[in-house]
Structure 1
Amino acid sequence: MNLPILSIIVPCYNEQEVLAETMEQLATKVEQMIHENIVSKNSKILFVDDGSIDNTWKLIYKASLSNEFIKGLKLSKNAGHQNALLAGLFAAKNSSDCLISIDADLQDDIDAINEMVRKYMEGYEIVYGVRSSRESDTFFKRFTAEGFYKLMDKLGVKLIFNHADFRLMSRRAVNELEQFAECNMFLRGIVPLIGFNSANVYYDRNERLAGETKYPLKKMLAFAFDGITSFSVTPIRLVLLVGFLSFMISLLFGIYFLILKFFGKTELGWTSLITSIWLIGGLQLIAIGLVGEYIGKIYKETKRRPKYIVDVDLLNLPISKKIGNVEQHGYEQILEKQKLSENH
């Protein structure tokens, strides 16, 4: 049986502090797997620069000149982690049998890649990397993360518990993923919808090698909210339920106050009046904001704008190691070669 061609997709955004170590570890991993006859010698590592403003792209470009396994894809602007991941998957799928996505900080254990490929060889087309525990997380992060997965399950969104974006997908699975044309791509929810034969590989999460996390609390909350509103209309139904309950409660209080009026026991009260106004006003603003979020998503979808734009593609472009000085004219020559190849 022919050995599978593996592509490792690594989205990068301002990762200059960690990138050199990441490249070395991943390149060593691919070399070992080739030596052990696990993957083909045509396997590669594709680093996707998501519009970084530091030296991330320069490091990728230099490494691609000296290491045959390392390739680069540069997006024209920051498109977001999920879109950068999609750009790498779609760019590499035609020259790969299976593709693994992993973050540049290498907190996900690269030794689990061997087991993922073995699962693929057994016939699984999607293999999820799942954290065996969250003991290394702070209490707050562990509590909020587990709460998010449980909430999504209650809302009817089937996610793989303790799985992020560390996964293997076959070329066939990525081809099917490309059929999902929506702009708001929440991959943790979309990939299970593909429905192909899948398996889990468990691993322990490592500490970040260097640099700072690209997902602080604000981004994590936004990501979670985007996932909820992209996959479930339950929040809209909850607004309807709250409105219905408020209506029923108001009817009961109306009957109660009519009875008091009938017996002459009513008193004018400013506190109860202003409290009711603030309560109903707050509920209305929440409802309008939530409905607006869904309308905003519909608005984005109707525009059909591209999820990302590729600036430079080093994946399929042959690069001579004798191009010359990288900083001065190597980059321009690559651009020129790419334009020529596109014209022909």
Structure 2
Amino acid sequence: MKPTKKDAAYAAYRFDQMLRCDYPQLAGIDEAGRGPLAGPVVAAVVLLPPDRSDDLYYDSKVLTEREREVAFASIMTHALDVQVGIIDSNAIDHYNILQATFQAARVAVNQLRHVPDLYLIDGMHVPELDAPQRKLIKGDATSQSIAAASIVAKVTRDHLMIELDQQYPEYGFAKHKGYGTALHLERLSMYGPCAAHRKTFAPVRERLQVREPVNDRRVSVSDEARAIQGASSESYAREYLEQQGWKLLAQNWRCSLGELDLIFESFNEIICVEVRSKKAASLNDALRLAGESISRVKKNKVRQLAEIFARSNHVDPRRMRCDVVLVGISENGEWEISHIPSVL
């Protein structure tokens, strides 16, 4: 009889527990997005507490979308450390997908706040890591730590592809997430590749040779870069607020109306945080532009989402508040954060 998801998840937890006898601090690494024709490749590294077992911390490929979102929220709340690395399609074309995947994993690892005793990695050996590593074939079905990383990588990338779908609705990225489905190949033939497509991948390269895109919007990398910048900004904002002693309740909480970037608890208040980021010549200009990007419509939407979150989680509305975190990025890569409480 085929084991249930619950049984398989518990077996993966027990596998990690056995390893912790020799390696107390385990970190799981997995990636999402090596095979698609468009969008970034995302790697995640997750350190779980040794006493945390969850029925949904299992191979992301066998979980439903709803189960992945629930598991993602749980991991982001309970993990000792979670980091992601995101490498865009330009870099994938430049380095090749394998090297870009290694780079994404190293970006994630380099952001860790804890030093693991052992990295468990799904199906690959990553060069230049700072601790011993072990490659596990079908690791996301074997190890709870890798399973958690697979969930974080998959959900993070799915959210990025949904953002890209808003920029390029003609390709259907929200449906196929950039994979080479019949719909995607049909739209590629109709419209030609966009900036998010991987030009070195054969189905894209063939259509690029036949039909060069003429729409200026398709030859700009700004849309994919904007989505990736947004994900990085949320990570910086989350880390900044956690350093203030805030407890993360959810990241990228979604409902039919939209998404809340971050939800925290602090001093008996539930705080919904909207993260806005801009890049400019100076940090002051970047922060000013980030602040100006919050429209009245956006403010109203965040307030409505906060009300929905309160109702669906049985939270007293008087405990709710909405903050903004502005992330300014200078042209030389410097970051600065400005936190504005109760602004929405």
TM-score by length of 2: 0.26
Larger radius of gyration, structure 1 or 2?
A: 1
Between Structure 1 and Structure 2, the one with more strand by share is 2
Higher relative contact order (CA 8 A, sep 6+): 1
Q: With the length of structure 1 as denominator, give the TM-score of the two structures.
A: 0.26
